[in-house]
Amino acid sequence: MDYAASEPGTTTVASALAIKILIAGGFGVGKTTLVGTISEIRPLHTEELLSDRGIGVDDTSGVESKTTTTVALDFGRITIREGLWLYLFGTPGQDRFWFMWDELALGALGAVVLADTRRLQDCFPAVDYFEQRGIPFVVAVNCFDGARRYDPAKVRRALGLNENIPIVLCDVRQRASVRDVLTTLVTYAVKGLGAGVSG
């Protein structure tokens, strides 16, 4: 969108751009925390208390202390500079809410797949989803307290990822760590777009 100044002395913002980023991964991996940590606005959360309806449906193994779940999305915003924003959309992590992913993925530049090495298999569906749709993504290993640390190369082999897909270690509670993850994703996605244009 181009915004023209309507009066002398007003600021013109040419080619304002909002970049859409998805934050995906398994149940309880830290998606809501990531969005809340980095968002400059009060993030929108659609969390509900876990109920008896999820018994036998939702896999809470490894996250037994979790009492809420995202049922639609998390939303946050970051201003990069005047006229350039990152919009963050956290996807629901449970199987029964995956029907929303196609809507959330429309127009996305790329995605962060959050992983927990204690439950690495939980991020396979997100990896498969973005690979099948050709959406650039990075894998961010959320380093939970007490969890064993693994070299990114081992995580890559376990997930069967191509060498070009970035894997970063992070702590989604730390703003600087989240910023580094998002910077890695945007750089990777834009580089891929440039290669596609030149190719």
Could you list the residue range(s) of the whole structural domain that residue 100 is in?
20-198
pLDDT tens digits, one per residue of 95-127: 556 677 888 899 999 999 999 999 999 999 999
Is residue 11, in this structure, part of any structural domain at all? no
What is the spatial distance between Cα 92 and Cα 36, in angstroms, rounded to a whole number? 15
Determine which of 20-34, 37-51, 102-116, 151-165 has the lowest per-residue pLDDT on average.
37-51
pLDDT in tens, 56-105: 444 555 545 445 554 457 899 999 999 999 999 998 866 556 677 888 89
- Strands 137-142, 110-115: pairing kind: parallel
Domain-located, residue 2: no
Q: What is d(CA 120, CA 126) in angstroms, rounded to the nearest whole number?
A: 11
Task: Write the CATH number for 120.
Answer: 3.40.50.300
Please check whether residue 3 lies inside any domain of the structure: no
Q: What is the pLDDT of residue 92?
A: 82
> What's the rounded Cα separation, in Å, for the pair 172 and 12?
35
H-run or E-run covering 77? strand 68-81
Least confident range from 57-61, 151-155, 177-181: namely 57-61
Task: State the helix-helix crossing angle for 31-38 and 175-198, rounded to 10 degrees.
Answer: 100
How far apart, in whole angstroms, are the C-alpha atoms of residue 144 and residue 172? 9
> Does 5 reside within a domain?
no
Number of domains in the chain: 1
15: in domain: no
For residue 45, being part of any structural domain is answered with yes
Question: Does residue 63 or residue 173 have the better pLDDT?
Answer: 173
77 lies in some domain? yes
Query: CB neighbours (10 Å) of residue 78?
Result: 19
Query: Across-strand partners of 115?
Result: 141
pTM flag (> 0.85): no
Domain assignment present for 108 = yes
What pLDDT shows up at residue 132? 95
* Residue 25 vs residues 102, 109, 154, 199: alpha-carbon distances, Å: 15, 17, 18, 31
Cα dihedral 35, 41, 43, 44 sign: negative
Here the tokens at position 15 are 């080619």
